Amino acid sequence: MQLSKIIDLVNGTIVVDGGVAAIDITSVCSADLLSNVLRHGKKGALLVTCLNQPHVIRSAELADIPAVLLALGAIPVKDMVALAEEKKIVLLTTSLPMYTTCGILYGAGLRSCVED
Protein backbone atom coordinates (compact mmCIF):
# COMPACT_ATOMS: atom_id res chain seq x y z
CA MET A 1 0.00 0.00 0.00
CA GLN A 2 1.28 3.43 -0.91
CA LEU A 3 2.38 5.40 2.14
CA SER A 4 0.47 8.42 0.86
CA LYS A 5 -2.74 6.37 1.11
CA ILE A 6 -1.90 5.39 4.70
CA ILE A 7 -1.43 9.05 5.58
CA ASP A 8 -4.92 9.76 4.23
CA LEU A 9 -6.45 6.82 6.11
CA VAL A 10 -5.13 7.92 9.53
CA ASN A 11 -5.35 11.65 8.82
CA GLY A 12 -1.60 11.77 9.36
CA THR A 13 0.82 14.67 9.32
CA ILE A 14 4.23 14.47 7.66
CA VAL A 15 7.02 15.58 10.01
CA VAL A 16 9.94 14.28 7.92
CA ASP A 17 9.44 13.45 4.26
CA GLY A 18 12.00 10.82 3.37
CA GLY A 19 10.44 10.15 -0.02
CA VAL A 20 6.81 9.51 0.89
CA ALA A 21 5.55 9.34 -2.66
CA ALA A 22 7.84 6.49 -3.62
CA ILE A 23 7.35 4.25 -0.59
CA ASP A 24 5.22 1.14 -0.71
CA ILE A 25 4.38 -0.34 2.70
CA THR A 26 4.10 -4.14 2.83
CA SER A 27 3.23 -4.74 6.50
CA VAL A 28 2.87 -3.05 9.89
CA CYS A 29 4.95 -3.39 13.04
CA SER A 30 3.17 -1.94 16.07
CA ALA A 31 5.32 -1.83 19.21
CA ASP A 32 6.57 0.29 22.09
CA LEU A 33 9.38 -2.15 22.87
CA LEU A 34 12.32 -1.58 20.57
CA SER A 35 13.63 -5.12 20.90
CA ASN A 36 10.32 -6.29 19.47
CA VAL A 37 10.87 -3.94 16.55
CA LEU A 38 14.36 -5.35 16.04
CA ARG A 39 13.13 -8.94 16.25
CA HIS A 40 9.94 -8.74 14.21
CA GLY A 41 10.35 -5.65 12.03
CA LYS A 42 10.45 -6.47 8.33
CA LYS A 43 11.95 -4.68 5.38
CA GLY A 44 9.30 -2.35 3.98
CA ALA A 45 7.15 -2.31 7.13
CA LEU A 46 5.54 0.74 8.74
CA LEU A 47 6.38 1.11 12.44
CA VAL A 48 3.47 2.38 14.55
CA THR A 49 4.52 3.47 18.03
CA CYS A 50 4.00 6.08 20.73
CA LEU A 51 7.72 6.31 21.54
CA ASN A 52 9.03 9.72 20.50
CA GLN A 53 12.77 9.12 21.03
CA PRO A 54 15.61 8.97 18.46
CA HIS A 55 16.24 5.30 19.28
CA VAL A 56 13.05 4.56 17.38
CA ILE A 57 14.66 5.95 14.23
CA ARG A 58 17.85 3.95 14.88
CA SER A 59 15.76 0.80 15.24
CA ALA A 60 13.90 1.54 12.02
CA GLU A 61 17.12 2.24 10.15
CA LEU A 62 18.83 -0.93 11.32
CA ALA A 63 15.76 -3.11 10.69
CA ASP A 64 15.21 -1.72 7.16
CA ILE A 65 11.94 -0.02 8.15
CA PRO A 66 11.37 3.02 5.90
CA ALA A 67 8.65 4.85 7.85
CA VAL A 68 7.57 5.56 11.45
CA LEU A 69 4.08 6.68 12.47
CA LEU A 70 3.69 8.20 15.94
CA ALA A 71 0.20 7.57 17.29
CA LEU A 72 -1.92 9.30 19.94
CA GLY A 73 -0.55 12.69 19.05
CA ALA A 74 2.96 11.88 20.26
CA ILE A 75 5.29 14.77 19.48
CA PRO A 76 8.77 13.70 18.34
CA VAL A 77 11.68 15.18 20.28
CA LYS A 78 14.07 17.40 18.35
CA ASP A 79 16.80 14.73 18.13
CA MET A 80 14.32 12.23 16.70
CA VAL A 81 13.38 14.59 13.90
CA ALA A 82 17.04 15.38 13.17
CA LEU A 83 17.99 11.69 12.99
CA ALA A 84 15.01 10.88 10.75
CA GLU A 85 16.13 13.64 8.39
CA GLU A 86 19.72 12.36 8.42
CA LYS A 87 18.73 8.74 7.80
CA LYS A 88 15.92 9.58 5.38
CA ILE A 89 13.31 7.77 7.45
CA VAL A 90 9.78 9.07 6.95
CA LEU A 91 8.34 10.38 10.22
CA LEU A 92 4.58 10.81 10.55
CA THR A 93 2.15 11.62 13.35
CA THR A 94 -1.53 10.97 13.92
CA SER A 95 -3.81 11.99 16.74
CA LEU A 96 -5.50 8.57 16.60
CA PRO A 97 -4.65 6.02 19.30
CA MET A 98 -2.45 3.05 18.37
CA TYR A 99 -5.40 0.65 18.59
CA THR A 100 -7.53 2.70 16.23
CA THR A 101 -4.63 3.39 13.89
CA CYS A 102 -3.80 -0.30 13.58
CA GLY A 103 -7.48 -1.18 13.21
CA ILE A 104 -7.84 1.19 10.27
CA LEU A 105 -4.71 -0.16 8.58
CA TYR A 106 -5.80 -3.77 9.18
CA GLY A 107 -9.21 -3.01 7.72
CA ALA A 108 -7.52 -1.54 4.67
CA GLY A 109 -5.69 -4.82 4.07
CA LEU A 110 -2.31 -4.36 5.75
CA ARG A 111 -1.21 -7.21 8.00
CA SER A 112 1.25 -7.50 10.89
CA CYS A 113 4.89 -8.03 9.96
CA VAL A 114 4.80 -10.93 12.44
CA GLU A 115 2.16 -12.70 10.32
CA ASP A 116 4.14 -12.43 7.07
Partner 1 sequence: MAANDTLEGCFELMGGDFSNAGAASSELKSILTKLGISADIVRRAAVTAFEAEMNVIIHAVAGTMHYMIIDNTLTITLNDMGPGIESIELAMQEGYSTAPDWVREMGWGAGMGLPNIKKYADIFKIDTVVGEGTTLEIYFRLKGEKC
Residue 61 in the binding site for partner 1 (CB under 8 A): yes
What's the min distance (Å) between Cβ of 108 and partner 1? 26
Q: Which is nearer to partner 1, 59 or 93 (CB)?
A: 59
Distance CA 89, CA 71 (A): 16
Distance CA 62, CA 54 (A): 13
Residue 21 in the binding site for partner 1 (CB under 8 A): no
DSSP letter at 20? G
Question: For the range 73-76, what are the long-range contacts, defined as Cβ-Cβ under 8 Å and sequence gap of 24 or more?
Answer: 74/49, 74/50, 76/15, 76/52
Distance CA 73, CA 20 (A): 20
Residue 68 in the binding site for partner 1 (CB under 8 A): no
Q: Which is nearer to partner 1, 22 or 77 (CB)?
A: 77
Q: Which is nearer to partner 1, 5 or 39 (CB)?
A: 39
Contact residues for partner 1, defined by CB under 8 A: 32-36, 38-39, 43, 49, 51, 53-56, 58-59, 61-64, 79, 87
